[in-house]
Structure 1
């Protein structure tokens, strides 16, 4: 078995880096609750050991340079703020070989507002995927903030609320129609520039209290 760099995260949140086979590393711990991250690149593993998440900035920039005509990189976010809690804002930044498109919107639908930022993120993803479909894009890399939007569609967790169930049905339909959709969680407030941009765009989508939509 090939040796790789493994970062083990313990129950107390501490992390330790190993260079070994996983069988040997796993044999040290004997605990199912221990989580692992593995990589061939030492720098990548060291970054994870220090920060607790993958170094996505370089990966994303590399992808931007290699985009094919039918591919897109998409950042999404939702926002629910005290300034006008009747609304949820949402936004998407879509990057293709032809350039960048920014989309934003807001909703006062009770199911979406009840789900707050999650409802906004779901709305942003559906908006972006619909745009991609209308522009005949076939392969989407979606970078999002809320972890469950990936887990629901990958059958890791069960969607219970109607807004989440509708979202799962929508994504599954696009995949059944041949669209490739990959989800990657970007930890919020970690300095990723595109994540910060889409966050501000989602916040700006919420109307001021004296400017409520008619």
Structure 2
């Protein structure tokens, strides 16, 4: 099966998520390492400051770095749908109708040029030394899927008038849950610490 036919078949199958697997795996390993460091710091070796405030501060720093690593390395992707291209960058999410894409650039990563002269950088497919050395199959796959999406773009007045949208998508609802879990774990470790400041 040719690349064009394969891309067409994938496009017709539904929503397609594209991201570099190697980057996602590396980010997942980094997150696992940060969580292990969080557990070690909270449960076994909180350093000089064994107080509850000191432990909470250290846990907060580690959790913040863990969130940052995942948002930059594991979260970014593009989603190809029959009507839109969705670009999920670490902070902003762009929903772009196919007819709004004027051109695509693949020099040192993927950049979308829109009809209103805006450019959107796809951070999930940004340039890398490994991709330059060994080739970037994920970038070529994304390029092919975008070409199919533009060819099959919906027609009609409604489609022509639809504008690109962007929004901040940080999953704020998870933040309170994470804070509660971290606080409970840190408090329990502080209570059990033989050197800690919890009253007996």
Q: TM-score range by the shorter chain?
A: under 0.3
TM (norm. structure 2) is: 0.25
The structure with higher relative contact order (CA 8 Å, sep 6+) is 2
Which structure has more helix as a fraction of its residues? 2
Q: Which has the larger radius of gyration?
A: 2
TM (norm. structure 1) is: 0.24
